[in-house]
Structure 1
Amino acid sequence: MSLSDLAAKEGSRRNFLKVSGLMGAAAAFSASIAACSGPSSSGAGAASGGAGADTLEAGISYALSTGFDPMTSSGATPYAANMHIFEGLVDLHPATREPYLALAAEEPKQVDDTTWEIKLRSGAKFHNGDDVTVKDVVYSFERVLDTKNASLFAQFVPFIKSVKAKGKDTVVFTLKYAFPLFPTRISVVKVVPEKVAKADQAGFDAKPIGSGPYQLVSATKDDKIVFKKFDDYNGKYPAGAKNMTWYLLSDAAARVTAAESGRVAAIEDVPYLDVDRLKAKIKVESVQSFGLLFLMFNCTQAPFDKKEVRQALHYGVDTDTIIKTALLGNAKAATSYVQETHPQYIKASTVYTYDQAKAESLLKEAGVTSLKFELLTTDTSWVKDVAPLILESWNKIPGVQVTMRNLQSGALYGENVDTGKYSVVVAPGDPSVFGNDMDLLLSWFYRGDVWPKNRFHWDKTAANKKVQAKLDEAAKTDDEAKAKAAWGEIINTVAEEAPLYPIFHRQLPTAWDENKLDGFQPLPTTGVSFVGVKPKA
């Protein structure tokens, strides 16, 4: 069954696609295929996308905190880079979030409730010149699903039972259970060359080889990432320039200066204080996002193993004042796990408003009379603006003394969170870069082992077991009401227990020079995208 058939099918499945936020995407998918499917292997599409020897340049906010292997990399900057380096069978456009055929030549074909077939695009090649084969596709999915690899993306595709080759150009997926979102969810797995990635995973992580429109030339931490056009790319979105350079400018002032001086054509994460100033010279647009600032606890460390303590610190944050002061109103205090504009928004039964008296009462209830700890945060500029105000709120609570340390994301997670050497963390997160349906967003932080077991250490609790069961229940049903009810229970549980829970969801301001870029769009996620973008002559 095709995506268009899924979108048109009457009854509960139609309602499910609608509530999952993919009804419109499914229709857009079919329309985009009819209007502008990927070019043939003749290379005509690649030729039409060239824009001369110009270089696209951008200023990036986040440091290069991880490598590029799409099996493991989730850092904001490498993930944004990977949108240009790698392809899935189906991909989501970074700005519009509409699905399109990438390495798939045709719409995924549903054979029965638990079997799908996908034919590969003819003539697709990797950056090293090797053909993209069905064996590479099978390997790419199997490596993500292999528990030994601890892939961050396995929790997004738990419904896949097996992936097999059928002939030289078709891949067959057998599912554990019917999953209506299959045609777009597979976009989370990017296809890699088996012989390269298998031979040296660490080397591949540092020097990735994909089949996307740009190939990596070099990546220097705290400096820049350099790309070049992949001339043999024959997909839908060929590179718009021969070269592309991203300058890693975690310092907000440096990013603004780079945009004002014309050194770069676009920057992400415009400081809120500089929005009006930049608007006088170039285009600036803020997009409401799921992107959140979360509060995370080491739930095996006393007294943070008690939900009352976790709740107390949430009630102890003067969120509205922080949003007005540090973000100039460009965020909304969390009333749920997702933002209020999300199509499946469900208000949580526990909503944290600033209430110092309640915070004091909850600490007393937990038997805590003195609470001293170090808060760890990322060194992202807007987080550094917000964190001292959180600290100020907490230190007003009698008996509470908090200090703070800002770290780069790599050090925060690699040296502290992932080793269990922390008490409380405030950090940004935005899994909506992978997709926007409720199942995916909840799965990122709460499904499987990566976050519940290895980061906030909540996996052995009865509450976590309930969340896992409800995630499975919602994923397996095609009944809208049942899915929404299960999601509601999950949201209420994580809001009340607060092992990891948002403080607010923010707006994302991006700036770009319209006189230099053709087709550029701001993203509703972290990062920038030059997919389908060309320099203006």
Structure 2
Amino acid sequence: MCGHATSRPSCSKAGWRTTRRHWWPTSGQTRADRLRGDIVARERTPAGYGLSRRRLLQGGLVAGAFAVSPTLLAACGGGNGSGGSGTSRLTIAVEGDPHSLNEIIDPGTGIRILNNTQDGLLNRSVDYREVVPGISDFPEQPDDVTYRFTIREGITFHNGDPVTAEDVVYTFDRLMTDETASFGALYRDNVASVEAEDDRTVVITTNEPFPIFLSLCSGNHTKIVQREKVEDPGYGVSVWSGTGPYEIVEWARGEQVTLRKAENANSPQGEAQVDEVVFRAMPDPAARLAALRAGQVDAVIQPAYKDIEQFEDSDEFQLTELESADQTLMVFKTSIPPFDQRDVRKAVSLAINRQALVDDFFHGHATVAGDLYPSWHWAHDPSIVAEHDPAGARDLLADAGFDEANPLTFTCMVLQDQLFLDQATAIQAQLREVGVEMEIQPVEYSTLSGMTAGGPEDWLGPVAMFRITPIRGTAYEFSYYQYAAGGPLNRSDFNKPGGHQRPDIQELMEETIAEADWGGERDEAAKPALAELSRMILDDPPQLLLNYWNRVSVLTDEVQGWSSAVFDLIQLAPVSMSD
């Protein structure tokens, strides 16, 4: 997938596809003690209004010539207008405020913004499934551990300074040494050296063959930045660095982030077609759609799935949709009894009707997970299916010592998002049918992320439900990243000290992942072992992969050139507004 210098790595085995409807392409207290009283109770959002949508053009793109935007209401920052003097604006309603606008700190939804203001040595395709050239073309690769990148001529930062090899060295050095870097260990453990040969040439050496390295060079962590900007005390809040087609003007926390067309940009993403873009934080899905209908915003990212059908055959609105990498996970803390027992975890898996979750809450805009990979992924094996077997679940529970006289009861921390709470409520009812009682504890995103990253003492219960999005789409991210003892997103303690031990799975994972993500014949050769890994994990699950869901955007008719992408990492340079 990451490929060699002569190829363009691809995460997908197929591009957009069409249906009748769409084109898709710390003190003595633990963290849990301190936060236990701060969890906000579950609330339901009101239903939206009834509308339909019209069919999209081929390729999942909203096509059209690049033009100047209609008026954006200056007083309220709304859509469909200009702010005077012919300024074109695009206003996008998103589900929340960024967690960060500093590229080395987990940005949450902020990655959508930084994806348009920064570039890496390599970039991503418009659907974010493929690696493409960035400020450098694909590197020379004389062996499996050496990468020689040459920076393109004419690439500048937003202040007009040229990008040099020293900027690349600084970017990687900061990523590997700054303690705030969310995934710094991934680079420290695998990158041996980053050296500037001259002003435009950088040589990066890994400790051993690291097939996902080119994919990482195209991701959000490794965006190339300037030392003088980064070392400003306001960096990430009021000061930013980048080379992308847009630059950040202002972050009004809790309200919106404003971008403007970068005057000095020569970004490999292309020239921005809109003068100003506003990302408006609107957590309520119904409020986002109401703002769209009222002309206050031009685009809504990720509407509630129940509302999508309302936009069929509309002459006013459009939909784009893409099969994505977003996962609904139920994670067992295998260091907490009784989820240290395989039979208990497998019983919960057998009791869950995954198809019912997709039908009832995604309304056809998701797929049931079987193996570890989404249906569009090169490593996907459609023969691997997660069983729904309530009778088998009861038998396993009995073998583990649980019955009517001694029922299994546990608390599940659930991401405080309606989609996850609805799924958890359905699972609660399904488990009750086999004699299991699950208490649902809603937890806000940042709090849940912190809790699950901690030890057993930080969890409010032995199980958690949340989302992970392997945005680069490598086999490594879908497997090793989440299930290996050294995986950065292994929240279950699987094969970690104190957690459930399966050294045979760990060994197979290490062997196969070293041979995957190179592209071509090497990936094909790795597929059988990756399929076997999926079967082993499905049989002895440290976590349950329930479904993969699609990414959907709703747009006004004026928006042109918009394409859905993994995690809604929309590339805005091609997007324009018609008159």
TM-score by length of 2: 0.76
Aligned to 1:173: 204
Letter in 2 for 1:495: L
Check whether the contact 2:481–2:487 (CA below 8 A) recurs between aligned residues. Answer: no
Cross-structure match for 1:40: none
Structure 2 counterpart of 1:248: 281
Find the aligned partners of 2:453 and 2:395 in 1 and give their Cα distance: 29
Contact 1:21/1:437 (<8 A) preserved: no
The residue aligned with 1:408 is 444
**Higher share in helix:** 1
Structure 2 counterparts to residues 115-514 of structure 1, below 5 A: 115-127=146-158, 130-146=161-177, 151-152=182-183, 155=186, 160-178=191-209, 182-188=213-219, 189-197=222-230, 203-204=235-236, 207-236=239-268, 237-279=270-312, 280=314, 281-347=316-382, 351-368=385-402, 369-398=406-435, 400-415=436-451, 417-418=453-454, 420-422=458-460, 423-431=462-470, 433=471, 435-447=472-484, 448-452=486-490, 455-458=491-494, 459-460=496-497, 461-463=501-503, 465-466=506-507, 468-475=509-516, 479-480=522-523, 482-513=525-556
- Which residue identity is paired with 1:517? V
CA distance in 1, matches of 2:508, 2:328: 21
- What SS does the aligned partner of 1:312 have? helix
- Cα distance in 2 for residues equivalent to 1:446 and 1:147: 26
Cα 1:440–1:323 change in 2 (3 A) is closer
Decide whether the 8 Å contact of 1:223 with 1:247 is kept in 2.
yes
**2:6 equivalent in structure 1:** 6
Q: Taking every aligned residue pair, what percent have the same amino acid on both sides?
A: 21
Aligned residues: 493
State the AA in 1 paired with 2:466: A
Q: CA deviation at 1:270?
A: 2.2
Change (3 A) 1:531 1:430: farther
Distance 1:519 1:476 in 2: 30
Structure 2 residues not aligned, in runs of 5+: 16-65, 70-85
Secondary structure of the residue aligned to 2:363 is coil
Q: Distance in 2 between matches of 1:345 and 1:299?
A: 26
**CA offset at residue 341 of structure 1?**
3.4
- For the 8 Å contact 1:72–1:151, the answer to whether it is kept is yes
Query: Does the C-alpha gap of structure 1 residues 187 and 526 become closer, same or farther in structure 2, counting only changes over 3 Å?
Result: same
Give me the whole-angstrom Cα distance separating, in 1, the residues matched to 2:574 and 2:189. 32
2:365 touches 2:549 (CA, 8 Å); kept in 1? yes
Alignment-mate amino acid for residue 403 of structure 1: E
**Deviation string, structure 1 residues 286-326 (Cα, Å, up to 9, x no partner):** 32223221111222111112222222222222222222222
What residue identity is the alignment partner of 1:474? E
Post-superposition offset of 1:182: 4.9
Distance in 2 separating the partners of 1:394 and 1:194: 54
Query: CA 1:485/1:285 → structure 2, altered by over 3 Å: closer, same or farther?
Result: same
In the alignment, is the contact (CA less than 8 A) between 2:212 and 2:517 conserved in 1?
A: no
Cα distance in 2 between the residues matched to 1:223 and 1:198: 26
Cα separation, partners in 2 of 1:136 and 1:256, compared to 1, 3 Å: same
> Residue 195 of structure 2 contacts residue 204 of structure 2 at CA under 8 Å; is this kept in 1?
yes
Bigger relative CO (Cα 8 Å, ≥ 6 apart): 2
The Cα of 1:252 is off from its aligned counterpart by 1.3
Q: Would you say 1:102 and 2:134 are equivalent positions? A: yes
- Partner SS state of residue 88, structure 1: coil
CA–CA separation in structure 2 for the residues paired with 1:311 and 1:125: 54
Residues 344, 354 of structure 1: alpha-carbon distance in 2 compared, 3 angstrom cutoff = same
Q: CA deviation at 1:277?
A: 1.9
CA distance in 1, matches of 2:279, 2:335: 40
Q: How big is the shift at 1:220?
A: 4.1
**Counterparts of 2:184 and 2:525, CA distance in 1:** 25
Query: Partner letter of residue 428 of structure 1?
Result: R
Structure 2 vs 1, CA of residues 155 and 346 (structure 1 numbering), >3 Å: closer, same or farther? farther
